[in-house]
Amino acid sequence: MVETQPSVNLTNLYKLFTEGESPPEHLGANRDWNIDLIPKFIMAHGKLVKIILHTESVANNLEWKCVEGTYVMQHSKGGMFSSAKAKVYKVPATDSEALKSSLMGLWEKKRCKKFFTFVAKYEPGNPATYDGFDVVNGPFEALAAKYKLEINTIDFIGHAIALYVSDDFMRMSSHDVMMKIRLYMDSIGLYGDSPFIYPIYGIGGIPEGFSRLCAIYGGTYMLDKPVDEILFDEEGKIRGIRCGEENAYAKKILCDPSYVLNINKVQPTGKVVRAVCILNHTIPETKESSSC
């Protein structure tokens, strides 16, 4: 199953998605490649990193690298999702990068700086830091209007910094959006000039680390075991799983939705289409960063 192979080398990637093809020789050796099928950037100040650091054992078995740069495709007019001509920009990670960036004009940079200063000083329990705005009930759209931010700036903040995938954040509570922005701001500088870090050997290293920790504390884990049945008691509550003739019991089970689709425990509400692209050239405007 693809779900059990989140990180693969070049040969296994071709085995999964091509029939009888081998990787071209010019792509180099297997050891030079580590491809995550479900890649996820990790926020340096996020909850996952805090959990990993708390375990110590998992943290000691993981090697991390700071992502050198992240980029956004911005349009000249109408925001990120307009049909106007687009250009790739580096998301500023330092004050000097922000001043040099052509994402905004000079006056917009001043307004944006004033907004970020407000976010940095914001304390949820201290109304004195609200700047006279109802941060709980007021939508972010109104907060952006208060600071006279342009549509492209709002798109940049919402999608490249707060990391929302749609424009719904405009109607969300300003508090919720600001806390996402604060997480981004607090993550910058912890391990480098980017808020994102990534395990050198791929996302698959994280569950491996927790499996080893589980074994240290007397837990049991089984690899490459097919789950034939999920077991429930008379009241319909989960009680374990069956693997062939063996049963394993637990009060809670964490699993991929595909394991419970046929017993009507979950309902699919959408799909994600993913692609792995191997490029033979750099992306324009990204030459200063090997992360692109």
- 209-229: average pLDDT: 84
State pLDDT tens for residues 191-206: 888 899 988 878 888 8
Per DSSP, the three-state class of 38 is coil
State pLDDT tens for residues 221-278: 777 788 899 999 999 899 999 998 989 898 998 888 888 888 888 888 888 888 888 8
For residues 209 and 57, the answer to whether their CB atoms sit within 8 Å is: yes
What's the predicted TM-score (pTM) here? 0.77
Q: How many whole angstroms separate alpha carbon 211 and alpha carbon 61? A: 12
State pLDDT tens for residues 165-182: 899 999 999 999 999 999
Supply the angle between the helices 47-55 and 205-216 in degrees, to the nearest 10: 40
Domain 71-187 has CATH 1.10.405.10: yes
- What is the average pLDDT score of the chain? 85
Start and end residues for every CATH 1.10.405.10 domain found in the chain:
71-187
For residues 276 and 35, the answer to whether their CB atoms sit within 8 Å is: yes
The mean-pLDDT minimum among 24-28, 173-177, 280-284, 285-289 falls in 285-289
